[in-house]
Amino acid sequence: MEIYRSGRFVVALLSACCLLWPAQASTDLGRVKEHYRKGNYAEALRELRPLVDAGHPAAMNVMGVLLDNGHGVPKDLRSAADYYRRSAEKGDPAGQYNWATMLRHGAGVVQDERQAAEWFRKSANQGDADAQRELGLMHANGRGGLTKDQIQGVTWLEKSADRGDVEAQYAVGWFRAYGDSPVKNEAAAAKWFLRAAERGEAKAQREIGFALFYGRGAKRDQQAAVQWLKKAAGQADTMAQVNLGKILRNGWGVERNDKEANEWYRQAANSGDAEAQTALGVASFFGYGVHKDDTEAVRWYRLAAKQGSPVALSNLGSHYEYGTGGVLQDHIQAARLYEAAAVQGEPYGQSNIARMYRDGRGVSSDAVLAHAWANLAASATSPHPKAADERDSMNQFLPREVLAEAQRLARNWKPGEPLGKSRLKPFGVAELKVTSDILALAKVLDAKLLEERAGQFPARPDSKAGLVTCNTRCVNGDCFRTYGDGRQVRFQAKQVWNLLSNQFVREAGPC
């Protein structure tokens, strides 16, 4: 995972007035700073121009800041970048940082991350904490032509963090918590997260909350974890809001509170978070902390489904399948939604689309696809509870070649990809079941017939040396004979003309 900055960082004027320049320049920059803080940009500009004309690098950086933000002058990124460059080339670390930032983002100048990395390095080597942070991130993420090197990246980040840069403290904590070996160190991560959290950094408050909740690098303390998560959530950290909702909904380490859970979910949902929108849909459907309302559930599911939430897609599909929540019943739309969820690996979506293919609702019945999706739903990390039974019920009557093809598709499927094409002509599951049922009934009838016939054979006669012995029983010419050696034979009696009765009669004949 890469950590990106949101927007350009503008160096505070305080850093520009603390350079080793003649006392007069330092004094004048101090007055510029005071005017700037009070919003007297015209006065700040008047004090600044003589210093800029004299070629003071710190002053040129400050002029870049004014142009960059449009304070006292029209906003002009190209001119701001030019002043930053001139300041950087004269060795001002703040100017070097700002020039590198413009190069990295392509603001007022052609984007060039390689040059940006070099200027960040020059500023970082002069002790600029912001530059050290950015250089660390570029090393850790392999940006700016730098080879990805998390060790080097964390080294720079820790230098910045030690100087009090709260963003660097969070960043180094992140790499210590989630980075690759050997930088991974959960105890160190918790330490950095706590330092940044205590200074009000929302992301760090969220992460120390996670560390305490799961006992990662710190002693497990779920009550304290919830308090840190609430601090982060109160600063509009969406991830903290969603996780607070989960904790309160499920009562993990705290008393279950559906109403409070919904409040945190709602804040995240209103910020566009799909997981929170889905959770509110589930709450409305089951009545968790709110009145049960299928229509409201569908509204939230629609919002989340537009963002591709697999759970929302599957749940919305159920409403279309049964025509609930204010939508008209539409099996075709239901099948489309189920399959969109199934492709993402959602086990309920997989089980639902398996039923649709099995029963031929919204899609053409296809035994191969039905079994393959049911198999995937049953073998998921969190499987659908009925998927295995539905799959096994199909096993009883699917021909061997159909079963083998379904297993091949399931075995080759990868999350995020379509299931694949069957090599077999589609077979209707219902038709296969009927055929199977007929064959099964035939086997039962044959068994019963054999059982009935077994009672029609006469008892075995005693065997006699040198003679063939048998007992015979005939009913309307259908004869059953048991021999002395145990053989049993069924045969038809022969028609023979009887001179005495002047008609044909049936005779079993001798043994």
pLDDT in tens, 324-358: 999 999 999 999 999 999 999 999 999 999 999 99
The DSSP code for 464 is B
Closest CA to 239 of 199, 279, 207: 207
Average pLDDT of the chain is: 89
pLDDT at position 24, please?
55
Number of other residues whose CB lies within 10 A of the CB of residue 338:
31
Average pLDDT over residues 382-411: 91
In the three-class reduction of DSSP (H, G, I as helix; E, B as strand; rest coil), residue 496 is classed as strand
pLDDT at position 25, please?
60
Ramachandran region of residue 433, left (φ > 0), alpha (ψ -120 to 50) or beta? alpha
CB 424 within 8 A of CB 402: yes
Tokens of 171: 């960043």
The DSSP code for 467 is B
d(CA 194, CA 60): 37
In percent, the amount of the chain with pLDDT more than 90 equals 75
Confidence band for 176, pLDDT divided at 50, 70 and 90 = very high
pLDDT at position 320, please?
98
pLDDT tens digits, one per residue of 196-239: 999 999 999 999 999 999 999 999 999 999 999 999 999 999 99
Sketch out the chain's domains with CATH numbers. 1-111 (1.25.40.10), 350-449 (no CATH), 457-511 (no CATH)
In the predicted structure, residue 58 carries a pLDDT above the cut 50: yes
The DSSP code for 217 is S
Alpha helices in 307-421 (DSSP H): 310-322, 331-343, 347-359, 367-378, 387-395, 400-412
Closest CA to 423 of 435, 438, 412, 437: 412
